[in-house]
A and B are shown apart, each in its own frame.
Chain A
Amino acid sequence: MNARYEYLLRLGDDALILGQQLGLWTGHGPVLEEDIALTNIGLDQIGQARAWLTMAGRAEEQGRDEDALAFHRTPAEFRNAQLCERPNGHFGDTIVRQFLFDAYAVQLHAALAHSKDADIAAIARKSAKESAYHLRHSSAWMVRLGDGTPESNDKVQASLNVLLPFAGDLFHADAVTDTATSEGWGVNPASLRPAWEATLAETLEAAQLQRPAPAPEQTGGRQGRHTEKLSYLLAEMQVLPRTYPDAKW
């Protein structure tokens, strides 16, 4: 197993799938400013995905570039966390999904900034600035919706109840992350959890939201086990390059 390739795919696929989903908000935001905000965040995610997938392709040493990895893999070959493929739903669903991810990304990028691999550290340091800004946006909306009207509180609480168990993949350690950690170029995802829990607790309190009772967590995304949604998402994202494999703009 090529641990470095697998690890970089996870980083790249999280960003790619989330970025693709945020792009679907183009023209559908509840207000113009949020239309622009969600698509701007999506743009940052796609930018991060390009950098991670380019590195993954080099680590694989099979000559695949970012586009080959994004457009010519099947759903079972994707390594994103299942949280990232949850449907956009309503605005509150998207905000909760984003908040859970941003709070993780901030810890991830801070830790990877100390990677022994100079390229990984460089992308992490750059991405850290973006994820901090994204968290500022999503946590502000968590408070605004949670501490808003009874209806907005009900809706966003329901989103949280459904989405929280999907955060399991983000912190799931396995042989790949063990290698990444012992060799010093990656991080143990479980070690990111306490700080993530602290951000969650602080934001939920400010937002007048309740942490759902502990439930079994969804995992499997890192091993290529996905929900039905990912296939539809990839079908739409990949149709053009799969239909015309060598098409150029």
Chain B
Amino acid sequence: MRSADDWLKLLHEVPDPEIPVLNVVEMGIVRTVESNDASVEVKITPTYMGCPAMDAIADDIRAQLSPLASQEGRSLSVELVYAPAWTTDWLSDSAKAKLEAYGIAPPGKTTDKRALNGEAPTVRCPKCKSEATELISLFGSTACKAHYRCNDCAEPFDHFKCI
């Protein structure tokens, strides 16, 4: 019989559908995994209330776990929870490094309140590492990203919004 930790490890193999360089555990979407003799319960939380990937993520988690759960005669449930609210602070340093290598400028710490006060945070270009960048749009290719441009290498890039 697999333990809760074993199930959690299996979820490290489920990529985020929109940012496949990170898995759903690294993204902070998987909050808890609990298991007993009869069931395996996974709780997931959305990055944004309207994140359209949540259904796909729940399906991917079921596809990954349900064959193994049924082999062990256990039921599987994937439940959506809203509290505590998702924050970019849950992204580990290694996850942020993967984001940058993938071409997405990672978020800073939410204790940096400049963004909320309308001031510009320092965003480093993921390609040439210049800090001479500017915001093009507060909203980018997905709900969790903003759109920036590097003034040194002239490349546009996504920045993971800091929330």
Interface residues of B in 130-155 (CB under 8 A from A): 136-141, 143, 147
Q: Chain A residues near B140: list those with CB within 8 A.
A: 36
Q: Number of B interface residues, CB 8 Å?
A: 25
CB–CB A133/B163 < 8 A: yes
- Whether a CB of chain B sits under 8 angstroms from the CB of A3 is no
Q: Chain B residues near A40: list those with CB within 8 A.
A: 139, 143
Q: Which of A69-77, A83-91, A122-130, A226-234 contacts B (4 or more CB under 8 A)?
A: A122-130
- Whether a CB of chain B sits under 8 angstroms from the CB of A41 is yes
- Main SS class of interface, B: loop
Q: Chain B residues near A33: list those with CB within 8 A.
A: 136-137, 139, 147
CB–CB A44/B48 < 8 A: yes
Q: Number of A interface residues, CB 8 Å?
A: 31
Q: How far is the CA of A211 from the CA of B46 in the complex (A)?
A: 39
- Whether a CB of chain B sits under 8 angstroms from the CB of A118 is yes
Q: Chain A residues near B161: list those with CB within 8 A.
A: 133
A112 CB to closest chain B CB (Å) equals 13
Chain A residue at smallest Cβ distance from B54: A47
- Whether a CB of chain B sits under 8 angstroms from the CB of A192 is no
CB–CB A126/B86 < 8 A: yes
A-B contact count (CB 8 A): 75
B121 CB to closest chain A CB (Å) equals 12
- Whether a CB of chain B sits under 8 angstroms from the CB of A140 is yes
CB–CB A47/B118 < 8 A: no
Q: How far is the CA of A44 from the CA of B47 in the complex (A)?
A: 11
- Whether a CB of chain A sits under 8 angstroms from the CB of B102 is no
Q: How far is the CA of A34 from the CA of B82 in the complex (A)?
A: 28
Given A33-B137, A43-B143, does the pair A136, B118 have CB atoms closer than 8 Å?
Answer: yes
CB–CB B85/A122 < 8 A: yes
CB–CB A43/B137 < 8 A: no
A185 CB to closest chain B CB (Å) equals 15
Interface residues of A in 110-136 (CB under 8 A from B): 118-119, 121-123, 125-127, 129-130, 132-133, 136
Q: Chain B residues near A127: list those with CB within 8 A.
A: 49
Q: Chain B residues near A137: list those with CB within 8 A.
A: 138-139
- Whether a CB of chain B sits under 8 angstroms from the CB of A170 is no
Interface residues of A (CB under 8 A from B): 19, 33-34, 36-37, 40-41, 43-48, 50-51, 118-119, 121-123, 125-127, 129-130, 132-133, 136-137, 139-140
A121-B83, A123-B82, A129-B163 given; 5 more Cβ-contact pairs under 8 Å? A43-B48, A43-B52, A47-B51, A50-B50, A126-B49
Ranked nearest first, the 10 interchain pairs of A and B with the lowest CB-CB distance are: A47-B50, A47-B49, A122-B83, A33-B137, A43-B50, A37-B139, A126-B85, A40-B139, A122-B82, A129-B163
